[in-house]
Amino acid sequence: MKNIVILISGGGSNMAAIVRASQREGWRGALGAKVTAVISNRADAGGLVFAREQGIATAVVNHRDFPSREAFDEALAARIDEHRPALVVLAGFMRILTPAFVARYEGRLVNIHPSLLPAFPGLHTHQRAIDAGCRFGGATVHQVTAELDHGPILSQAVVPILPGDTADALAARVLTQEHLIYPRAIAQLLTAP
Ligand code: GAR
């Protein structure tokens, strides 16, 4: 059985979509993979409740408890490695990771970002897409490399930006697409030769 560890900072709806997909008979049978842990840098991350309800191990590694990014990433990696994951999935994990952390999980670290990368890395992606007059927004699943919100693209979903759209309305429409493409991209990655 391949283990998946998911890192979250908030509501964890992408994590929940991945967990639900992984509970389907086909997914388990075909991939032989399951979500073994959900780890958050925030104790109040809503997604932790869902994970616990599903009987998944949870942990909190609070970045505020550490004097540096390096020390936080070391502690985080120690918790992750307890599960010997084939894949580490960032799902709304709002921390910048150190190059050492990224190197440690090279080839088995993925992220979802709420824009059509390489457009709009960083924060406030939906407002920036609206302000730029883009006709389409979306989301990107990508391998994580040392450069923030870069790395080989695994999947994208394109969502039209409607006249009068607000960032919140667009974010909600993009999020429903994220829930579709993220589990699918993970399944493809885990079955790739
Ligand atoms: C998602 O839209 C995800 O793409 C984004 O945060 C949201 C998390 O939602 N990620 C980033 O902005 C990463 N830089 P969720 O907690 O409900 O999955």
**Does residue 113 have an active-site annotation?**
yes
Q: 168 lies in which domain range?
A: 2-191
Q: What is the atom index within ligand 1 of the atom nearest the CA of 10?
A: 16
Out of 83, 113, 150, 179, which one is annotated catalytic? 113
Per-residue tokens: 118: 């390489």
**pTM score, two decimals?**
0.97
C-alpha 105: how far from chain center? 14
* Rounded Cα distance, 174 and 137, in Å: 8
- pLDDT (0 to 100) of residue 189: 94
Residue 44 pLDDT > 90:
yes
- pLDDT (0 to 100) of residue 28: 74
Residue bearing the CA closest to ligand 1, atom 10: 92
Distance from residue 30's CA to the centre of ligand 1 (Å): 27
3-class DSSP state for residue 23? Answer: helix
3-class DSSP state for residue 33? Answer: strand
The average confidence (pLDDT) of the chain is 96
In the structure, which protein residues have their CB atom closer than 6 angstroms to any atom of ligand 1?
A: 8, 10-14, 91-92, 112-114, 139, 175, 178
Pocket mutation for ligand 1, best pick of 111, 128, 178 (most atoms within 8 Å of C-beta): 178
pLDDT in tens, 48-69: 999 999 999 999 999 999 999 9
Distance from residue 140's CA to the centre of ligand 1 (Å): 11
Distance from residue 15's CA to the centre of ligand 1 (Å): 10
Q: What is the atom index within ligand 1 of the atom nearest the CA of 14?
A: 18
Give the position of tokens 């560890």: 5
The length of the chain is: 193
Measured torsion, CA atoms of residues 125, 183, 34, 151, in degrees rounded to the nearest 10: -50
Quick one: pLDDT band at residue 148, thresholds 50, 70, 90? very high
Q: What is the atom index within ligand 1 of the atom nearest the CA of 47?
A: 16
Distance from residue 70's CA to the centre of ligand 1 (Å): 23
Per-residue tokens: 60: 């909190």
If one counts the domains in the chain, the total is 1
CATH of the domain at 133: 3.40.50.170
* Rounded Cα distance, 45 and 35, in Å: 17
* Rounded Cα distance, 53 and 32, in Å: 22
Quick one: pLDDT band at residue 193, thresholds 50, 70, 90? confident
